[in-house]
Amino acid sequence: MIKLGGKRLGSRGPVLAGIVLAALVALLHVLGPPALVRFGLLLFDSYQRAAPRAYEDAPVKVVDIDDESIRRLGQWPWPRSEIAKLTNRLGQAGASVVAFDVVFSEPDRTSPSRIAEQLARGGADSATLAVLRRLPDHDSELAQSFAATPVVLGYFLVNDSAGPQVATKAGFAIGGTPPSQAVPRFRSGIESLSVLNAQASGSGSVSLPADNDGILRSVPLLAQQGDQLLPSLSLEALRVAQGAGSIIVRTSDASGEISGAPGRVVAIKVGQFEIPTTAAGGLWLHYTKPVPARTIPAWKILDGTLSPAELESAVSGRIVFVGAGAIGLRDLISTPLRDHELGVMAHAEAAEQVILGHFLQRPDWAPGLELALVLALGAGLALVLPRLGAARGAGLVLAAIGVVVGGSWWAFSHCRYLLDPTYPVLALVLVYSAQTVLVFYREERRRAYIHSAFDRFLSPEMVRRIAADPDRLELGGEEREMTVLFCDVRNFSGISEHLAPKQVIGFLIALLTPLCDVLLARKATIDKFIGDAIVAFWNAPLDDPDQHRNAARAALEMVRKLDALNAGEGRDPAVAWPGPVRIGIGLNCGLCCVGNMGSAQRLSYSLIGDTVNLSSRIEGLTKFYGVSIAIGKALHGKLAEFATLEMDLLRVVGRDTPERVFVLLGDEELAGSPEFADLRERHNAMLAAYRAAQWDDARAQMLSLTNHAGQFGLNKLYSLYETRIAALMAEPTPAGWDGIYEAREK
């Protein structure tokens, strides 16, 4: 474990984060956000598509008023006399109950009495009207067929506005807390005509509200209007088919369940059948693929295509659901298996499942098991993942996800249990992702810490190269053509005298940091700091083909940056700034020996050579000549396009060979200006006269330069030449005069 920024970054942080995420997923499981609930439902849909229910010949049939029936028997609505004929034939064939997924809410417009009313308004003769009025009413005929055959009528439940209460023929017995909060509640209903309801054996809801995504996954067996429970069409058909009196509803606090709130529906008992349900009293549907054998077209019954014996064989002892499948009449639903399915098929499949005892269910222990898996897998992974690493951890997570999803599939395919793997899988993915990111972040912090620690001794580029090739830590160096910069603060002793030690350090940091930023931006390697001085170089450790221009531009930008700091731009107001600060910069280029130097105990990547010494001497001359940037002859030859002037030919301390030194005033833009061109012409003329011992001409040219001196910061330079020329004019010209000046100070 290492300490970074005052905080310890060990394995406890990722472990704690993983445990917190596992707890968060557990909370989501309790709250059940719709998006995650839907994801689980979509997974169950995929299970159904992979393993739909195998069709078994249960005592359930569907009579379909299909397109062919409409073509043969005429457009819908048919006369109720035709519906009566259909009902009678089904009853005579031995159907145990006929359940209509059709609501007969308005009188039949084709009844003779209704036709008589229309003809009377048109002035028809009384004899015709009398004959029509004596004919049987179609609604009455249908009611009579209902009286002869066990029939269950459908009704719609709506919430648009308060309306008439639906009258149910089913009685209810409730074991436990009444399910007033769990069962869907409706404000009103749309029933068939009272003359029909009176003769029907039962009635049930045909409303099939789908889930939020429009898919019908469960049939609501119960509904509620006011304080009255109402059965669905399929539940009522099962009751009537068995001749049962009441439907028994058992809720959670009467079933021995210990999870969930009281009043949740657990099971419904109708006759001999006990049906496990959802909390709202719904039956999970396990759909079959389309089965033609389940359906009988209505026209085959009405036109006699099916003989009485064939019809009896098809429907005897069966619950027969009648629905409309013709285009324009279709009551369509979306199921996990089909986008467009007849609504009557949902009622029929629900009845089939009850009779066959084939149930999909979420047992009362399912939420507890899922919650336990979330906490166990999430927290367990949080504890072991930091020890495994990302690769092995990914393998473990994939294996755990495979076990969870595989277990969910096995429970569905073998036990018909709906166990949702969404939350355990989400916990595994979130914990793995978060811990991997945190561990990666921690390791990056460690690397950054180590990197920054070495950056205090070596250049950033050198650290990267050492990291890539540790053999570079060996002692030794190489000769390279390099450009060297020395920068020093003017009158630093005087500045230090008026500041406290801490203020001096704060001032140096505030000054040197932006200057070093300039150097680094221009690809310099910062070699060292010598008190208030900076030593930097170019073209090592990495090649820099533009090293000379980069060095010149860096020096010019350093001077501009210092001017901005002196003006207060970007300066920390908390730092003690000792008035106007000036620097001197010396630059030169040439061969240097650069590499890891020092002892076996301590290495320093640095450089040595005559070029380095000369650069240091040139920096010292900036103070003598009163300029900001001075460069040697070798570098001047590389900067022909820059604004430079020769300052002097002199022997610096420690060197016998004379050196030409130049002042760097600006870049190419200044070099191309008319003002600088005039300055350079006059300046060169002055130097030529001075070295030719033509004192009068030299003095005249020098005096003509005084107008330019202030603009280019050359006041002290020309003041030195004025003093020299005056002294030389006062005495005879020295023998062997060559214009070389002997520097007496470094």
Q: What is the pLDDT of residues 87-128, one digit of tens each?
A: 999 999 999 999 999 999 899 887 777 666 666 666 666 665
The answer to whether 249 and 175 are in contact (CB under 8 A) is yes
The first and second tokens of residue 699, run together, are 């003095």
> Pick from 690, 620, 618: which is nearest to 659 by CA?
618
Distance between CA atoms of residues 264 and 247, nearest Å: 16
For the segment 388-425, what is each residue's pLDDT rounded down to a tens digit?
878 888 899 999 999 999 999 999 999 999 999 999 99
| Domain residue ranges in the chain | 3-51+362-452, 60-356, 476-639, 668-746
% the chain with pLDDT above 90: 62
Q: With 50 as the cut, is the pLDDT of residue 5 above it?
A: no
> Pick from 258, 606, 632, 657: which is nearest to 459 by CA?
606
In the beta sheet, which residues pair with residue 361? Answer: 417
Split at pLDDT 50, 70, 90, the class of 133 is low
- Up-side HSE of residue 729: CA atoms within 13 Å toward CB? 15
For the segment 373-382, what is each residue's pLDDT rounded down to a tens digit?
999 998 898 8
What average pLDDT does this structure show over 563-573? 92
DSSP state letter for 19: H
Q: With 80 as the cut, is the pLDDT of residue 52 above it?
A: yes
| C-alpha distances out from residue 41 to 51, 102, 565, 575, 611, Å | 15, 30, 66, 64, 78
For the segment 718-727, what is each residue's pLDDT rounded down to a tens digit?
999 999 999 9
What average pLDDT does this structure show over 52-79? 92
The first and second tokens of residue 85, run together, are 């004929």
Q: With 60 as the cut, is the pLDDT of residue 185 above it?
A: yes
Q: With 80 as the cut, is the pLDDT of residue 448 above it?
A: no
> Pick from 612, 618, 570, 619: which is nearest to 592 by CA?
612
% the chain with pLDDT above 70: 89
Distance between CA atoms of residues 707 and 720, nearest Å: 16
Strands 583-598 and 476-489: antiparallel
pLDDT of 3 reads 39
Distance between CA atoms of residues 492 and 505, nearest Å: 12
- Three-state SS at 478: strand
Class (C level, CATH) for 476-639:
alpha beta
* Model-wide pTM > 0.75: no
